[in-house]
Structure formats: structure tokens, C-alpha cells
């Protein structure tokens, strides 16, 4: 699987969609003007895009074309010695609490290579962006386990968060 990022225009989006019909999901972040592409295959090159190979670790709920039009990408970096606990917390406590929200459709959790630590992305799909202000999300960020992890300087505040909407560009 590849995660593609770009600030390209509509022509480059159409080129990418044409090159990978049916295996490419495209999203647009209005706040930053950036684009995000999720490709099912692991080989692709396009001058307007930067592609990163990712390894799917786990998922929950509905993802892909069957899920909502909003994608909330959360990026994480953490030291290797905390990998097991972080993944256990995310998969077994945090994600199930988020999925209890009706508008929180699903999540794909992926890992990228990083020689200095562990780099992950949670690709949450939402049927409504209001899920980000839901009581379920608030509860998931107030558990004893969350608060125990929060004492580390690498946890929560440094995470990157970007909200995207499914791209509607169509090929000709």
C-alpha cells in the first residue's frame, strides 16, 4: 500500500486517478490545499506526488469507498521502546471507543519506515466531520491509559492532524 501526498492541481489528480482506476482513493484538505492518495498497489511514480510505502497493521469499522467522505489523518512518531504499549492502547482501547460514535466509520492504521523510531498514521474515515467533537472522542482522550501515555513528551501534542474530504475530480 502507498500513501501519496501532493499540493498538485486537478490535472495531476486526474492523471493519477486515470493511471490507477479502482485502486486509488483521493482526498483534499481545504485548510492546507494538500492532497492525499491511498493506493492499493505498491508501485507508482508521478512527478507531482510523493509516495511512501506503508504497512497496514490493523483496521476497524468500514474503510475505503464504502466509508464516509471525510478522512482524518493522524500522524505519530514515538521511540521504539514504547511501540508495543502504544499499539496495544490504540487498537484495544482508543479505536473501539472512537468506533462507538455513529459518524466514526472506520480506521486503517499503518506504519512507515523510520530509522530513528516508529512512525505511524491512523487514517480515520468519518461520515460526518462532527465526529471529531463527539463525546466518544472526548472519552477516548480521558482514560487512565491515555493519561499515562500523555506524560511522555512524544505523545499527543506533537501528533499531526489533518482533515481531508474525498476528492470529487472525475476522469474524462
CA distance 13 to 44: 14
Alpha helix locations (H) across 39-162? 83-89, 95-99, 135-140, 144-150
Across the strands, what pairs with 78? 118
Q: How large is the greatest C-alpha to C-alpha distance in the chain, in angstroms? A: 52
The domains of the chain are located at: 2-166
Per-residue pLDDT, 169: 54
Per-residue pLDDT, 58: 97
Per-residue pLDDT, 43: 63
Low-confidence ranges of the chain (pLDDT < 70): 20-22, 42-44, 168-172
Per-residue pLDDT, 170: 42
Per-residue pLDDT, 22: 66
* CATH number at 2-166: 3.30.70.100
Could you give phi then psi for residue 5, rounded to 5 degrees? -130, 145
Per-residue pLDDT, 124: 98
Residue with cell 467522505: 69
Per-residue pLDDT, 172: 35
Per-residue pLDDT, 171: 38
Amino acid at each position: 500500500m502507498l500513501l501519496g501526498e501532493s499540493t498538485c492541481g486537478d490535472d495531476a489528480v486526474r492523471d493519477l486517478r486515470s493511471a490507477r482506476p479502482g485502486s486509488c482513493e483521493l482526498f483534499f484538505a481545504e485548510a492546507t490545499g494538500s492532497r492525499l492518495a491511498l493506493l492499493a498497489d505498491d508501485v507508482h511514480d508521478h512527478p507531482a506526488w510523493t509516495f511512501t510505502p506503508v504497512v497496514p497493521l490493523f483496521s476497524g469499522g468500514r474503510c475505503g469507498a464504502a466509508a464516509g467522505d471525510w478522512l482524518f489523518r493522524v500522524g505519530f512518531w514515538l521511540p521504539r521502546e514504547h511501540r508495543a504499549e502504544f499499539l496495544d492502547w490504540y487498537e484495544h482501547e482508543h479505536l473501539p471507543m472512537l468506533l462507538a460514535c455513529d459518524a466514526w466509520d472506520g480506521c486503517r492504521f499503518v506504519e512507515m519506515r523510520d530509522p530513528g523510531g516508529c512512525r505511524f498514521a491512523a487514517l480515520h474515515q468519518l461520515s460526518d466531520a462532527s465526529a471529531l467533537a463527539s463525546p466518544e472522542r472526548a472519552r477516548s482522550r480521558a482514560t487512565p491509559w491515555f493519561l499515562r501515555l500523555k506524560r511522555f513528551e512524544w505523545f499527543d501534542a506533537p501528533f499531526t492532524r489533518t482533515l481531508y474530504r474525498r476528492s470529487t475530480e472525475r476522469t474524462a
